[in-house]
Structure 1
Amino acid sequence: MPIRIPSDLPAQDVLNAENIFVMDGEAAAKQDIRPLEVGILNLMPNKIETEVQILRLLSNTPLQINIDLIRIDNQAPKNTPKAHMDAFYLSFDEVAHKNYDGLIITGAPLAHLDYADVKYWDKITTIMEWARRHVQSTLYSCWAAHAAMFHFYGHNRQLREHKLSGVYTHQVNAPHDELLRGFDPEFNAPHSRFGEIPIDVYHSVEGLNVLASSEQTGAYIIASKDKRMVCITGHPEYDPETLDQEFTRDTNNALSPRIPENYYENNDPTKPYHVTWRSHGSLLFTNWLNYYVYQTTPFDLADLPAKK
């Protein structure tokens, strides 16, 4: 699919090298169609890496998509040049007047902070409430998925003693849901988190369905029956080397991390890692765009109904 992104965004060179179709504004303007409007609220410190990972997953559909990269505040992120943020990111105030077909809110390295102690918690809750009125379907990833459960339903996450890290086999619980169309009954996905909400908590919330889960990770894909909210507790966007980089970083910082499970050959970090999740991740985002966004969004975004 043609993802419409700025011609000089660093992600474009990476995606072009992977034979992923991206389009600049001039070429997109020649197509007589109404593109989807998708915002990405990027909370990760390394913005550029996360941009590439998410844009890659949005790339496998014939739909044209206009992407807005959104920042939570004007503070310079630790691992991203200020010039990059100034060139490619919009503040929430700059897009608050807009309606979007889809919104993705990424995870954030905030596992050990209470929500009230997160410096931009008030802004996050403002955006989550705004999305109920301005976005057809919002996808919350990892930390953001737990934050949404707390904000909307009052269910706080628990913290695990040890980080859940590795690649785990999940089962499809709702084979007829369009978000899982084309999935095998079992599939793999990476996780990297301390937070956890017991699966029975999700089952207790009226209007939510646990679409995929595993005995080791609990609920993985959760969606509202009206398709307006999707929570992903893992990281289908991860690059092949991401878990290895996290393990190496935490080891070098003397955090004594556990070896990511089911990732390295024979669970030996000196040996190659196995990549078994990327096709599922691509299909998950393609299905979200097609069935939860494109098939349900109004042609005129001004007609977008507010979520009750």
Structure 2
Amino acid sequence: MPINIPKNLPAGEILRKEKIFVMEEDRAQTQQIRPLNILVCNLMPEKEKTELQLLRLLGNTPLQTNVTFLNTATYLSKNVSKSHLDTFYKTFKEIKHRRFDGMIITGAPVERMEFEDVHYWNEITEIMDWAKINVTSCMYICWGAQAALYHHFGIGKFELPKKCSGIYSHVITDLTVDLVRGFSDEYVAPHSRHTSVSIDDVRNCPELRLLSYSEEAGPFIIQSKDTKHIMITGHLEYDATTLADEYNRDVEKGEPVELPINYFPNNDPNKTPKNTWRAHSHLLFYNWLNYYVYQETPYDWHFVDDMIEYHI
């Protein structure tokens, strides 16, 4: 089934070349089918790259999916044109009257800041609170995961002695949970962050379940026990060369960065890295959309509103 995207979105042409079934809005409206409505709050600086990465994963399931991109109103991104934002993005004010089946909040380059010092922190917390009622299931990535753990569960972050960057091995704590159904006992995934959360704090929180972790990189997949919130502390959505791009960017800035761990062949930054996590990336998003969005979301949100009003 297709993923529905805004007309003329630049990522669309690339997705078509990769044989991913995309459908623009005008054609999708003619189909007599209830698609899933997914909201993506994209806080990453290079928004077009993140759009493409997430659309690849959202588009590789049998479910028809409408994607709405959300941008902060309280902070204007410096790495994407205003015309791109105006054409393809909404603000929270424009969508807060709607209901969504799923929501993704991405990472953001603000992890070294205190949460309350982030320009758009109040806006993000308002979105997260709104989502408790208006979204069936939420996925949070990297800084988004840390923000959700802090806001919803009171778990803070701490700065690492050096950047956690590379491809790390992870294990699963419970293979019977639907979110990790089909995962290997051990698998790899990318991380790219300067901060982390305590694995003990996650384990000791009665509202959370630690599904996957790395001995080196710490907690990775965390799920609330009501299955409403899914926190991913790394970047399974990354392309093969994303960590290389980040490394080269930091080197050009003169930052004291080390080579990403287990990433470049023979630790040679001149060699092209391979994507060794692709299968589990697709599996995670497939499981999320199937088990926690499609099978849990109401067919008609108006019916839910009527039931709530009746019980009140």
What is the TM-score with the length of structure 2 in the denominator?
Answer: 0.95
Q: Percent identity?
A: 46
What's the counterpart of residue 156 of structure 1?
A: 156
CA distance in 2, matches of 1:124, 1:69: 14
What's the counterpart of residue 197 of structure 1?
A: 197
Aligned to 1:145, what secondary structure does the other structure show?
helix
Q: What letter matches 1:184 in structure 2?
A: S
The gaps in structure 2 that reach 5 residues or longer are: none
Q: Deviations over 1:264-301 (max 9, x none)?
A: 11222122313201111011001000001111111112
Q: Deviations over 1:79-122 (max 9, x none)?
A: 11111000011110000011110000000000211111101111
CA distance in 2, matches of 1:289, 1:181: 13
Q: How does 1:1-308 map to 2 (within 5 A)?
A: 1-73=1-73, 75-302=75-302, 303=304
Q: CA deviation at 1:228?
A: 0.7
Give the 4+ runs in structure 1 shifted more than 4 A.
none
CA distance in 1, matches of 2:26, 2:155: 46
CA distance in 2, matches of 1:201, 1:106: 22
CA distance in 2, matches of 1:223, 1:154: 15
Q: CA deviation at 1:75?
A: 4.6
Aligned to 1:289, what secondary structure does the other structure show?
helix
Q: CA deviation at 1:30?
A: 2.8
CA RMSD, 1 decimal: 1.4
Q: CA deviation at 1:217?
A: 1.0
Q: What letter matches 1:157 in structure 2?
A: K
Q: What letter matches 1:280 in structure 2?
A: H
Q: CA deviation at 1:74?
A: 6.0
Aligned to 1:293, what secondary structure does the other structure show?
helix
Say if 2:236 and 2:277, in contact at 8 Å, map to a contact too: yes
Q: CA deviation at 1:27?
A: 2.4
Say if 2:59 and 2:65, in contact at 8 Å, map to a contact too: no
CA distance in 2, matches of 1:129, 1:180: 26
CA distance in 2, matches of 1:153, 1:63: 31
Q: What letter matches 2:57 in structure 1?
A: L
Q: CA deviation at 1:26?
A: 2.8
Aligned to 1:55, what secondary structure does the other structure show?
helix
Say if 1:101 and 1:301, in contact at 8 Å, map to a contact too: no
What is the count of residue pairs matched by the alignment?
306
Q: What letter matches 1:182 in structure 2?
A: G
Q: CA deviation at 1:49?
A: 0.8
